[in-house]
């Protein structure tokens, strides 16, 4: 069992064993090798159909291509040849041509006519990105719908607001969740804009002029776009990759918000806080050695995605510097990076649905925490009640003093206030109790919740 | 002159000596310490005015704040105290309060009433970002206008298309520039969307409830927003930073495109290519030791920005994971990062204007290069002429053979074609000459140029 | 007070108002403009001295350069001219030459003789990096020394171990701190290796051949290296930047560990945990609106550095792709990036010293938390006591059941165990109490602490 | 063929179709699912053997584990359950326990005894990293050996030095390659240091105390380390990930240097430069539409790795911020990131071997390029010949003037010099010709080459 020899006997097939944890089945399906080949077949079919319609190539090519299915292609062999060809399209087109040649040898010369590798690859991944973005839009919609009902349910559930991880005045759980919802609503808008602006046809031939098609370029382009239900851009964009960078940035932002949700959840679920919990399920979140453990597995997925997404977005931005009419290095850097980012985003959205769909809440613990440390979290409320009488600055200083005393003497804020002659000079016991009532210190909470819900047609 | 002692005597004031190279004066001005303080004063003034209008605080506070100018504040001292306070707002508010107290001691207690540090800081930087984005939008507009005239001028100037840094069929310089313009047009759209979606008021008090303002929160918010001419969001967004991430991503994408332009320019300007040049100016791009050098200084600025932007965008995305109602670490990570990204973008845009506004072109050299290596760059054109007769696959193989011969025998593609019996069987000399004429092999070039210009109202 | 016009009147001088918070005075001093100019003067002096010694230039040049001080140079003007020159060295050499020419016009032609811009710039920043790394090494040493005494003091102070933010079996505070110390010891080693491998002379002339010096290159190089007390590399390294990348990566790793320390501290300092605290000081960590707040300011600096460092390291890695004999874009991208990373590391180390030097600990709270949730954190201890009798798998399942019961019935783990017939069949009350005693469940803790301290010559 | 439905029928198995292009077979083998499972089996076996030896568990467990092979495990099912468990170790241990229970039910309870998930996972990936780093060290060694022979062969082959992509004085191809070699030598040193410092055992139990093993912890640890031939660290390092970050940074730096090599190669291979070429092979680097194309495929792999590595290193640094005794999010973020970086590095090293092992050189073209633009690249040589007579500053200005004239009048530098009365006053024709001879203007080139080769025991 020495370590140097042990790999020899192993298969070298690269798997993705973490897919079930970090990705979602839907996204994995969109980006499987077969799915990509299917998209590439679809492009070549649409191209042939367009060329036939414009009379550039003989009739029958599109039909011959359509007769080829992904199962007729040897993906492993195509992948292997990519190492020499430098891109997937060359061995793919060769394999497709061979398939067509078997049935219609006289037509096989018209496969991929006038297009270049980048046309079929870029357009095919755009088709994948459209599918994946559409799925993400749906997921965001589903999460927003869940959140609408959670926000409504926990509209008035009090818990401490927390800043710098220190308790502050109260918020409601509904408000916290409304903040999540508010951000996700903006992400939906961004996804929609990315779908519209970024998922467009790439078709330009060798150097982006479609020279091989002579005058037919614009007409063929229009037909290919129609065949693939893709918008037609003003011009080919082989080395202008801002559209892909925008998709990446949009996913990166979504992962950022989901990471914030994961952070919040995992903090609320801490043993010492224990205010809200990920749903429990058999075999979920256990430990291999600690019997009592319930690990926040979904939160860890959200957080891991948020840690990983920024580097991947940076890569997509760095790869934008592509040379002249078709680049070297930058283009290749995109191929695995953007699908990876989609995997993480898809997996994080699935984890978010688990959390949000099944969160359990301990409202009592939340309320209890408002009373910690003598209830100093409401010091601001008293400070403002006092400020109305003696000005904010003096009130603030007075309360700083009183809260320090609370800490040192281990008494409650109420007791400390009542025992301060200076404060009692300006506030009555009733005013103090009123200030210390968290329900009365929620300010605009309800208004905010209503505004956010209104955008979902609720509230 | 030993190295360990030499710093003792030095001032410790941190400067930015590379600002003139990497930033633009306009952006530097927006993000200077004084400009930030001015924005913070403006926020406090707008807040006081709103509170007065709603009757929350006595009349006169806003006027007292307005009487304070940035020169009344000791920026160095405020900066120094930030080290203890943890944020700039606390010492700023203290300094402002002291100023107000000098003239109107009885009102000084109402400065910053109901707001928290993050309100004044976030809103002030949003005001800076709006200024900076507006400047960037203007710069993009100016560059687009320059490009419109360049595209028009070089519409038909032939040069080799280049893919993987290898020559391919011809393009025109106008088409290459139209590609730049096309991308920049999308960036303008993104900047406009970012301005609308991201530059909004932040105002939520301690934990985002405006509890200190009781029922007046919504009304005061509306007035503050009006005073600062900023849109009002559905709810405060202290720990939801997707808006700032979107701004960062937008800048990152702009830098990516500008980096592509810098790469193209520096490649065209290579000694061995020498087809286009950055403008020459006295003292510009010389070498400290090589008398003949004309370094592409502006391109280096474009490329450096493109190298640096991705990491900064990644930081903004990573900092999105902010805890509960106000975060720790993530918020602080933004303060220098987004202004830095604006500096780089501003500097790169200025460099791009220099390049695009003053580029000189050697059209003869471009044309000459189309004939390099026996003119094989036009092999595709012959291949397609031939494909119409004998099918694409056979034509492609034949041309692969002929171009290899061109390389090995050092003859021109034309001669090689004319001496190939197999080719001459299908193509006449006239057809060959026609195929080898670059002007006839530009496909949809003019259509694309017209489409891109049309979006600028030209074409 | 409208926003568009307000910048006009402002100075455009770029400051660094966050330096006192995010950087350390020592690091800022190393990287000030004056410090850089001083280093550049030092290089030119050492070069001239070496050239004189080898008889390449006339005597007197070095002395004339040495007579120039940084105050004789107009840094603002040099910075301004950098925008045209593309690098700082060209206007610097021009300014220095002017200074020398005033006193010794006949010698001014020998300033910077045989060197290129990159020689003086690269070597000068290497000198800065050496100073800064030496400072960082000292800081790491000081922190390690503090940690040694903290580890010793809190060697046996019990608190819950926490995994996935959930309580697990106990650790001691000493062990937690020993983990910090262990990591920082490795960083010291890395800093020493970086100092040795990376801080070397760069001197190669125009293209890295020192051609202008004819045969004297090696001798002059040896003398320059000696003059600057810098190791001499095998060959110039103008476009091989792995040394700078290694420095960056070393700093990035330090920031990562410091970020972990900041995360731990801020979690321990949470209102609901309150087991350890940053030192309190007047004016430190207050809130602009919440009188009771003590914000973990130093932790926020540690966390912010850890959020920002990865992007800056990535930039240094990305900038390694530099062209041929001297690059374009990559070189320029380094100039502000590595100093920025030093700033953050220096500031984070200062913050770490504050935290570690002044941490206050509530050992009682730590002990109290071990009893939370009925004391289930010690379930593993009971599980292993039981496993010795009935095997691990069955014991684990049994304890999963019992701990679930603890949660549901709200009783203590001890009571739940005592009331389980199945468990009492195998364990006596004494065995249970022994298993539940945290002091007895610390395993190898002391051994680990001793090993880590031993590396500091303690333990 | 509409796009929304087309995925339904596809398998959802995630493949890595770009592995043959971007990874190397050896690295893929190290990181396959089976290889990981094998390493995990190996850990559990070594653990059981150590526990038996120390008398903690009954004899026979290790033998029972050793009888289990990776083929007895259902990787797909383990992967699937990871989604719930949150880590691979829990379902792996469950599956292993089931296997052991089939043969020796009475011993199955002692599988994974005293360890936690992170112990088996971390140690197993460390074993993978050691294999992979060892492979990388071998690859670096092989490339260095190739470079030694290339440097020797092209020691005196002249070509233009190039700075900012502009021609400068000559270098030799040997010197350029010596620069690559010099950097790769440093990387070998770094890999060796990373192997020694970073590839160590992780074994700490639930919270890093090995409490479940009572007093046996240190002895068991020593035996496990011995069994796996892994160094034993001072203490467990579950949340101190600097070792993994160092591995990542080392790989990132290697990719940076390889990217520089790819950039140099692709620039040399440009149609307009055509001085050096990647090896040609059947089916390698062709275009799907341009018959004459020979794309620099290996360079594109090198460049793509250099674009992608920085973001992945940044992720590893960002993931260092791990909480308390075992983190959430950061740990998970490592699992796919570091293997991905190994893939890219392995693939890039393979591509580098292809390039370096088979590069073809056109020495004639190189020499020809030294004469471009009238031969101004040697202006520095003349400038220094002149400087010896009239001082550097005046000589530099004079040559600036003359080289400008060369450009404007289209004559050679030699002719321009001979026609300048001012220059001929100080230099003879012979001196001019001598200065213009590139062979005489190589300075220390041979010394540098000798030094670098000496480190390989050559030279």
Active site (catalytic) residues of C:
287, 326
The pLDDT assigned to B289 comes to 72
**Mean pLDDT of the D20-38 span:** 95
Contact at CB, D85 and A297, closer than 8 angstroms: yes
DSSP tag of A371? T
C453 to chain D: closest CA residue:
D234
The pLDDT assigned to C4 comes to 36
Q: CA angle C42-C45-C50, nearest 5°?
A: 125
**Mean pLDDT of the B280-291 span:** 73
pLDDT at D56 over 50: yes
Q: What's the gap in Å between the CA of C278 and the closest CA on chain A?
A: 13
Q: What's the gap in Å between the CA of A302 and the closest CA on chain B?
A: 10
Antiparallel, parallel or unpaired: β A360-361 and B158-163: unpaired
Active site (catalytic) residues of A:
287, 326
Euclidean distance between CA atoms B346 and B251, whole angstroms? 9
DSSP tag of C286? -
User: pLDDT by residue (tens digit) across C314-366?
Assistant: 999 999 999 999 999 999 999 999 999 999 999 999 999 999 999 999 999 99
The pLDDT assigned to B1 comes to 38
Say if residue A456 is exposed, middle or buried (CB neighbours under 10 Å; 0-12, 13-18, 19+).
middle
C282 to chain A: closest CA residue:
A400
Query: Helix C297-318 crosses helix B330-358 at what angle (to 10 degrees)?
Result: 30
Residue A5 pLDDT level (bands cut at 50, 70, 90)? very low
Q: How high does pLDDT run on average in chain B?
A: 93
The pLDDT assigned to B13 comes to 55
**Which of D287, D397, D409, D440 is flagged as catalytic?**
D287
Q: Which of A104, A80, A100, A103 is nearest to A90 (CA)?
A: A80
The pLDDT assigned to D8 comes to 38
* C-contacting residues in B 168-197 (Cβ below 8 Å): none
Q: How high does pLDDT run on average in chain C?
A: 93
Active site (catalytic) residues of B:
287, 326
Q: What's the gap in Å between the CA of A19 and the closest CA on chain C?
A: 21
D197 to chain C: closest CA residue:
C186
Euclidean distance between CA atoms D339 and D329, whole angstroms? 17
**Mean pLDDT of the D270-285 span:** 87
**Mean pLDDT of the A81-110 span:** 94
**Which of B211, B322, B442 lies at the smallest CB-CB distance from A260?**
B322
Q: B: neighbours with 3+ CB pairs under 8 Å?
A: A, C, D
**Which of A21, A206, A266 lies at the smallest CB-CB distance from D328?**
A266
Stated pTM of the model: 0.96
Euclidean distance between CA atoms A187 and A254, whole angstroms? 6
Contact at CB, A445 and B209, closer than 8 angstroms: yes
**Which of D272, D293, D376 lies at the smallest CB-CB distance from B272?**
D272
Q: What's the gap in Å between the CA of C191 and the closest CA on chain D?
A: 12
Tokens representing residue B354 in the block: 């220099």
The residue to which tokens 């956010």 are assigned = A452
Q: Which of D245, D255, D246, D279 is nearest to D184 (CA)?
A: D255
Euclidean distance between CA atoms B192 and C182, whole angstroms? 51
The pLDDT assigned to B292 comes to 75
Show the DSSP H helices in D216-361 as ranges.
Answer: 217-228, 242-268, 297-318, 330-358
For an interface test with C, the pick among A166, A333, A382, A436 (most C C-beta atoms closer than 10 Å) comes out as A166
**Mean pLDDT of the C81-97 span:** 94
**Mean pLDDT of the B65-88 span:** 94
pLDDT at A4 over 70: no
* C-contacting residues in B 284-303 (Cβ below 8 Å): 284-290, 295-297, 299-303
Contact at CB, A109 and B311, closer than 8 angstroms: no
A382 to chain B: closest CA residue:
B212
Contact list, C93 vs chain D (CB under 8 Å): none
Q: Is A369 on the interface with B (CB under 8 A)?
A: no
Residue C162 pLDDT level (bands cut at 50, 70, 90)? very high
User: pLDDT by residue (tens digit) across A411-451?
Assistant: 999 999 999 999 999 999 999 999 999 999 999 999 999 99
Q: Is D234 on the interface with A (CB under 8 A)?
A: no
**Which of B165, B310, B406 lies at the smallest CB-CB distance from D296?**
B165
Of B352-366, C176-190, D24-38, D275-289, the one with minimum mean pLDDT is D275-289
Element (H, E) at D51: helix D33-53
Q: Which of B208, D16, D72, D20 is nearest to A33 (CA)?
A: D16
Instruction: Return the number of CB contacts < 8 Å for A and D.
Output: 319
Contact at CB, B400 and D271, closer than 8 angstroms: no
User: Could you report the predicted ipTM of this complex, rounded to two decimals?
Assistant: 0.95
Euclidean distance between CA atoms B179 and A235, whole angstroms? 7
**Mean pLDDT of the A353-357 span:** 95
**Mean pLDDT of the D248-277 span:** 97
Contact list, D287 vs chain B (CB under 8 Å): 163, 168
Rounded-to-10 torsion of CA C93, C98, C103, C108: 50
SS (H, E, C) chain B: CCCCCCCCCCCCCCCCCCHHHHCCHHHHHHCCHHHHHHHHHHHHHHHHHHHHHCCCCCCCHHHHHHCCCHHHCCHHHHHHHHHHHCCCHHHHHHHHHHHHHHHCCCCHHHCCCCCCHHHHHHHHHHHHHHHHHHHHHHHHHHHHHHHHHHHHHCCCCEEEEEECCEEEEEEEHHHHHHHHHHHHHHHHHHHHHHHHHHCCCCCCCCCCCCHHHHHHHHHHHHHHHHHCCCCCCCCCCCCCCHHHHHHHHHHHHHHHHHHHHHHHHHHHCCCCCCCEECCCCCCCCCCCCCCCCCCCHHHHHHHHHHHHHHHHHHHHHHCCCCCCCECCCHHHHHHHHHHHHHHHHHHHHHHHHHHHHHCEECHHHHHHHCCHHHHHHHHHHHHHHHHHHHCHHHHHHHHHHHHHHHHHHCCCHHHHHHCCHHHHCCCCHHHHHHHCCHHHCCCCHHHHHHHHHHCCCCC
B189's CB contacts (< 8 A; 6+ apart) are A197
The pLDDT assigned to C16 comes to 85
* C-contacting residues in B 212-231 (Cβ below 8 Å): 212, 228-229
Q: Is D411 on the interface with A (CB under 8 A)?
A: no
Q: Which of A445, A334, B434, A259 is nearest to D22 (CA)?
A: A334
Q: Which of D53, D42, D62, D38 is nearest to D221 (CA)?
A: D53
Contact at CB, C165 and A300, closer than 8 angstroms: no
Radius of gyration of chain C (CA): 30
The pLDDT assigned to A3 comes to 34
DSSP characters over A249-286: HHHHHHHHHHHHHHHHHHHHTSTTT-SEEPPP-TTSS-
Residue A224 pLDDT level (bands cut at 50, 70, 90)? very high
Tokens representing residue D351 in the block: 């591509």
For an interface test with A, the pick among B232, B251, B439, B443 (most A C-beta atoms closer than 10 Å) comes out as B443
Strand partners, D159: D171
**Which of A111, A213, A242 lies at the smallest CB-CB distance from B257?**
A242
Contact at CB, C165 and A311, closer than 8 angstroms: no
Cα-based distances in Å from D361 to D149, D153, D173: 14, 11, 9
**Mean pLDDT of the C111-132 span:** 97
A345's CB contacts (< 8 A; 6+ apart) are A27, A136, A251, A254, A255, A305, A309
Q: How far is C-alpha D75 from the geometric centre of its chain's CA atoms? A: 29
Residue A459 pLDDT level (bands cut at 50, 70, 90)? low
Euclidean distance between CA atoms D323 and D328, whole angstroms? 7
The pLDDT assigned to D13 comes to 55
* D-contacting residues in B 259-288 (Cβ below 8 Å): 266-267, 269-274, 286-287
**Which of B178, B240, B325 lies at the smallest CB-CB distance from A168?**
B325
SS (H, E, C) D175-221: HHHHHHHHHHHHHHHHHHHHHHHHCCCCCCCCCCCCHHHHHHHHHHH
**Mean pLDDT of the D201-212 span:** 97
The pLDDT assigned to B12 comes to 46
Contact at CB, B206 and C130, closer than 8 angstroms: no
Q: Is D345 on the interface with C (CB under 8 A)?
A: no
**Mean pLDDT of the B267-275 span:** 97
The pLDDT assigned to C377 comes to 85
The pLDDT assigned to B2 comes to 37
Contact at CB, A272 and C269, closer than 8 angstroms: no
pLDDT at A260 over 90: yes
For an interface test with C, the pick among D47, D140, D235, D244 (most C C-beta atoms closer than 10 Å) comes out as D235
Tokens representing residue D217 in the block: 């912890």
pLDDT at B151 over 50: yes
Contact at CB, C75 and B303, closer than 8 angstroms: no
Residue B284 pLDDT level (bands cut at 50, 70, 90)? confident
For an interface test with B, the pick among D161, D169, D264, D272 (most B C-beta atoms closer than 10 Å) comes out as D272
Q: Is A438 on the interface with B (CB under 8 A)?
A: no
For an interface test with A, the pick among B318, B379, B446 (most A C-beta atoms closer than 10 Å) comes out as B318
Q: What's the gap in Å between the CA of A31 and the closest CA on chain B?
A: 24
The pLDDT assigned to C14 comes to 57
Q: Which of A5-14, A103-112, C276-285 reaches the highest mean pLDDT?
A: A103-112
**Which of D88, D130, D284 lies at the smallest CB-CB distance from A84?**
D284
**Mean pLDDT of the A156-161 span:** 98
User: pLDDT by residue (tens digit) across C362-404?
Assistant: 999 999 999 988 888 888 899 999 988 888 878 888 998 998 8
D350 SS3 class: helix
By the 8 A CB rule, do B19 and C80 touch? Answer: no
Q: How far is C-alpha D65 from the geometric centre of its chain's CA atoms? A: 36
Q: What's the gap in Å between the CA of D164 and the closest CA on chain B?
A: 6
């Amino acid at each position: 069992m020495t370590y140097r020899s042990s790999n020899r006997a192993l298969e070298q097939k690269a798997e993705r064993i973490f897919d079930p944890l970090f990705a979602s089945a839907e996204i994995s399906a969109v980006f499987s090798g077969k799915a990509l080949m299917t998209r590439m077949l679809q492009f070549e079919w649409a191209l042939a159909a367009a060329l036939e319609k414009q009379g550039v190539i003989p009739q029958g090519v599109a039909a011959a291509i359509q007769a080829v299915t992904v199962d007729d292609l040897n993906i492993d062999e195509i992948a292997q040849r990519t190492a020499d060809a430098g891109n997937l399209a060359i061995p793919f087109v060769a394999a497709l041509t061979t398939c067509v040649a078997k049935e219609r040898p006289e037509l096989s010369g018209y496969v991929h006519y006038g297009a270049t590798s980048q046309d079929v690859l870029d357009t095919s991944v755009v088709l994948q990105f459209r599918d994946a973005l559409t799925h993400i839009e749906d997921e965001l919609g589903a999460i927003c719908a869940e959140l609408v009902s959670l926000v409504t349910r926990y509209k008035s559930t009090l818990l401490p607001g927390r800043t710098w991880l220190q308790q502050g005045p109260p918020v409601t759980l509904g408000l916290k969740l409304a903040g999540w919802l508010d951000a996700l609503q903006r992400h939906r808008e961004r996804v929609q804009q990315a779908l519209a602006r970024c998922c467009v046809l790439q078709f330009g031939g060798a150097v982006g002029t479609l020279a091989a098609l002579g005058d037919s370029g614009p007409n063929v382009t229009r037909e290919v776009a129609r065949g693939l239900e893709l918008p037609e851009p003003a011009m080919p964009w082989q080395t202008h990759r801002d559209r892909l960078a925008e998709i990446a940035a949009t996913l990166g932002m979504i992962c950022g918000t989901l990471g914030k949700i994961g952070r919040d959840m995992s903090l609320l679920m801490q043993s010492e806080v224990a205010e809200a919990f990920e749903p429990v399920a058999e075999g979920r979140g256990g430990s291999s050695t600690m019997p009592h453990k319930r690990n926040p597995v979904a939160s860890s997925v959200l957080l891991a995605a948020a840690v990983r997404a920024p580097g991947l977005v940076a890569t997509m931005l760095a790869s934008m510097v592509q040379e002249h009419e078709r680049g070297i290095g930058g283009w290749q850097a995109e191929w695995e990076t953007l699908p990876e980012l989609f995997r993480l985003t898809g997996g994080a959205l699935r984890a978010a649905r688990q959390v949000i769909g099944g969160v359990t809440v301990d409202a009592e613990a939340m309320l209890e925490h408002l009373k910690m440390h003598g209830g100093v979290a409401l010091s601001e409320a008293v400070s403002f009640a006092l400020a109305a009488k003696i000005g904010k600055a003096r009130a603030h200083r007075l309360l700083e003093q009183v809260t320090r005393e609370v800490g040192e003497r281990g008494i409650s804020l109420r007791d400390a206030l009542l025992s301060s002659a200076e404060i009692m000079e300006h506030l009555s016991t009733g005013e103090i109790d009123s200030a210390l009532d968290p329900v009365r210190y929620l300010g605009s909470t309800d208004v905010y919740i209503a505004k956010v819900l209104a955008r979902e047609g609720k509230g």
